[in-house]
Structure 1
Amino acid sequence: MLRLEGLTAGYGGSQVLFGIDLAVGPGEVVTLLGRNGMGKTTTVRAIMGLLPSVGGRVWGGGIALDGQAAAGMAAHRVAQRGLGLVPEGRQVFPTLTVEENLLATAANRSGRTPPRWTLDAVYAFFPRLRERRANPGAKLSGGEQQMVAIGRALMTNPRLLILDEATEGLAPLIRAEIWDVLAKLKAEGQAILLIDKNLAAVTRLADRHVVIEKGRTVWTGTSAELAAAPEVRDSYLHL
């Protein structure tokens, strides 16, 4: 579904990624792990075609979607290929209501008939959003905004869902709710690429992990392999 091979990228004249290798297959949950500033968000931006919008560019290596080259593809073309993004910082539309935020991205990128994700389906996943459907994004709590951000991505009916800092800054109860939602999505066969700092939670959820350091992939493996590799956790994941 998604494959990165030797991806290099940066902003202006500053190189950030020096060789990222990563793959996500249908139905897989894969994490992208590393300390702050190691290139995780830049990797996501490169995948989604967002670097050019901020003066950056993909320099080399490969991004392939379903075996077809996608490096440098415009962001709207990437979205049309079935990638849905829950961005760092949530980025809900502040003046739109919850329902308007959700409907703004509605599409059927999966090609499934009927589509899995409709407004009612998102409300069933997040009952709180139904209660807050008329509230503007700016009036929501951080947890409610994250629910909107996930719901908005699901409303595209993505083939691959990408979450950048899935639970950052959320209260413990909300974090637990988000992890429960992601587990349900995995059980349905939703492919997910996930960034989050909660190592215990991601190792319970994910099939495989990709660890990066200073813009390079330095380790890949399963949750069992990561649990058996304290040197990886100590060298690349702990502050």
Structure 2
Amino acid sequence: MSAPMLSVEDLTSGYGDSQVLFGMSFAVAAGEVVTLMGRNGMGKTTTVATVMGLLRPTGGAVRVEGEAVQGQPPYRIAQRGLGLVPEGRQVFPTLTVEENLVATAANRRPGAARWTVDSVVELFPRLGERRRHLGGQLSGGEQQMLAIGRALMTNPKLLILDEATEGLAPIIREEIWGCLGRLKDEGEAILVIDKNVSALLGLADRHYVVEKGRVVWQGDTASFRADAGVIERYLHV
């Protein structure tokens, strides 16, 4: 059996003297869509930051296709094939849409279908209409599309989205969920964080629920739907 695309094993991490993760463990296989769900402040973004090398773990392992990468600098981890759509989008405001996309262009998947500016614009036609606009001139929804496109331009083996649709208008959310569904159909491995449980259940194969820096529930979509108490216990504010 081949190694998972991403495997996080007993990960501990935090900020200075404040520990946030207390043994996080989960995995994402090739071609699989997996969620991290949980209330605000439970460690989801810290998990992503630690996986991507933006935070140094204090224990545990992060493996990409079986190779340990924990503690490596972010660019090395990105080179292993992890593409991040960060919370807050973080597009380059003084670069055009096209320049934002070209800035991250890479080929991590020799021989595979490669993402280009044209294929990103085909996925997100709004970006094509605004190809010469500056990143700072775009709406929040357009910036999120650009952030996803920018991550795809690295031709990742795994796409990670932190708060995929937070703060966006409903019509834009639906458009982004539809594009993520298309990526899934094309075999893209995706790890997604979002608060829209119904959309996540319609998209993902498996789910991990996070509480106070550790996984407290995991299972597939059928198991999630069958456990009527999981939302009340861990997801309601």
Give the TM-score normalised by structure 1: 0.96
The residue type paired with residue 82 of structure 2 is L
Cα distance in 1 for residues equivalent to 2:72 and 2:230: 33
Provide the residue aligned with 1:99 in structure 2: 98
Letter paired with 1:67: G
Look up the match of 2:150.
152
Q: Take 2:217 and 2:12, find their aligned partners in 1: how far apart are those partners?
A: 17
What amino acid is aligned across from residue 199 of structure 1 in structure 2? V
**How far off its partner does 1:78 sit?**
0.5
Q: What's 1:27 paired with?
A: 31
Q: Give me the whole-angstrom Cα distance separating, in 1, the residues matched to 2:50 and 2:111.
A: 27
Structure 2 CA distance for aligned equivalents of residues 163 and 235 of structure 1:
24
User: Aligned residue for 1:71?
Assistant: 70
Q: How does 1:187-202 map to 2 (within 5 A)?
A: 187-202=185-200
**Residue of 123, 133, 136 corresponding to 1:135:** 133
Counterpart AA for 1:232:
V
Pair 1:40 & 2:44 matched: yes
Report the AA paired with residue 11 of structure 1: Y
- The aligned residue for residue 59 of structure 1 is 58
Matches of 1:126 and 1:217 in 2, distance apart? Answer: 34
| Pairing partner for 1:163 from 161, 164, 168 | 161
Aligned to 2:218: 220
Counterpart of 2:9 in structure 1 is: 5
In structure 1, what is the equivalent of residue 85 of structure 2?
86
The unaligned stretches of length 5 or more in structure 2 are: none
The offset of 1:70, in angstroms, is 1.1
- The runs of 4+ residues in structure 1 deviating greater than 6 Å are none
Give the AA of the match of 2:34.
V
Q: Structure 1, residues 30-65: CA drift from partner, whole Å, max 9, x if none?
A: 0000000000000000010011xxxxx300011111
Q: Secondary structure at 1:134's aligned position in 2?
A: coil
Offset at residue 233 of structure 1 (A)? 1.2
For 1:228 and 1:134, the matched residues in 2 are separated by 48
Give the alignment's TM-score, normalised by structure 2. Answer: 0.97
What is the Cα deviation at residue 131 of structure 1? 1.0
- 65-74 or 188-197: bigger deviation: 65-74
Q: Name the counterpart of 1:50.
A: 54
Aligned: 1:120 with 2:118 = yes
**AA aligned opposite 1:181:** C
Paired residue type of 2:73 = A
- SS of equivalent to 2:222: helix
Counterparts of 2:184 and 2:111, CA distance in 1: 17
SS in 2 for 1:189: coil
Between the aligned partners of 1:18 and 1:125, the Cα distance in structure 2 is 38
- SS of alignment partner, residue 181 of structure 2: helix
* 1:231 Cα offset (Å): 1.7
Q: Secondary structure in 2 aligned to 1:212? A: strand
Paired residues, what number? 233
Cα separation, 2, equivalents of 1:10 and 1:187: 35
Match of 1:183 in 2: 181
Residue 201 of structure 2 is aligned to residue 203 of structure 1: yes
- Residue identity opposite 1:105 in structure 2: T
Where 1:178 maps in the other structure, the secondary structure is: helix
C-alpha separation in 1, matches of 2:171 and 2:43: 29
User: CA separation in 2, counterparts of 1:109 and 1:44?
Assistant: 20
Instruction: Give yes or no for the alignment of 1:18 onto 2:22.
Output: yes
Residue identity (%): 67
Other-structure match for 1:54: none
Other structure's SS at 2:88 match: coil
